[in-house]
Every structure is written in structure tokens, then in C-alpha cells.
Amino acid sequence: MNGHEESPWIDKDGAHELVTVRCRECGRQFFPPQRLGCEGCGAAGDALDRVPVPAVGRVRNVVAVHVHPTADVPFYVADVELDAVAIEVQAVVSPDVGVGATVVGQVLSAGDSQPRLRMTVTREDR
């Protein structure tokens, strides 16, 4: 892992958080995290504060993916509006997810490769 890569999510007391970034120069808040530069104003380095938020959001759209060069299909991808901040993320979701469902991050271990965070339906919405 080189100096520019960082994990987009972290563990926090058993729950998961997404690492958003807020630019001190222009106020833009974005995901995924990077230290390369703010897309709004170009500020870099110390100007980019990490702001972890709960990995919880509502599904705006979801689609089944049936064709992919390497991954096993079908899998499901959704636009998820985060609860904590007005940011929409694209995430792999569990198959039972519908539009409007609340989803939370859950870790999927994939053997040797880095564990991936998947968003799954909360118990209340099942």
C-alpha cells in the first residue's frame, strides 16, 4: 500500500464508519478519502480533515449486475444516501436490499484479499 491509498472505512467499537474528508479551505465534504487534493479548490495535505461518519444510509437505487469480467455474478450495487451527511456513495449491497431500505456496513472477508465493506439491510427493515 503506497502513501496515497487509505481504507475508505474503519472499525469503531464494533460498528463501521466511512471515512469522509472535509476541506478546510472550501468546506467541501467528500468520499472516498484521499490526500491528493480537494476537487472543489485543489487544497491538499493538512487542509483535508478526516471526518468518519457511521456507515449507515438509505438505498436510493439498486441494480443486479449480471456481467463482470472477474467477479462472481450476480451481485448487487446501490446508490446509498448517507444518513450523517449529504453524500451519496456507491456500495455493494446484499441481495435482499430494496429502494428506501436502510443499510449498514458489514465486513465481507474475501480470503487473502483485503476485506470489503458491504452494506446490508438492518433487522428492522427486513
- Grid-cell match 478526516, residue found: 50
Q: How many CB atoms lie within 10 A of CB 112?
A: 5
Whether a cis peptide bond, with omega within 30° of 0, leads into 33 is no
φ, ψ (nearest 5 deg) of residue 23: -85, 125
Looking at the Cβ atoms of 107 and 122, the one nearer to another protein is: 107
Question: Which three three-digit cell numbers place residue 58?
Answer: 438509505
106 binds another protein (CB under 8 A): no
Site string for another protein, 48-77 (x = CB under 8 A): ------------xxxxxxxxxxxx---x-x
Site string for another protein, 1-40 (x = CB under 8 A): -x-xxxxxx--------x---------x-xxxxx-x--xx
Residues binding another protein (CB under 8 A): 2, 4-9, 18, 28, 30-34, 36, 39-40, 60-71, 75, 77-79, 86-92, 99, 116-117, 119
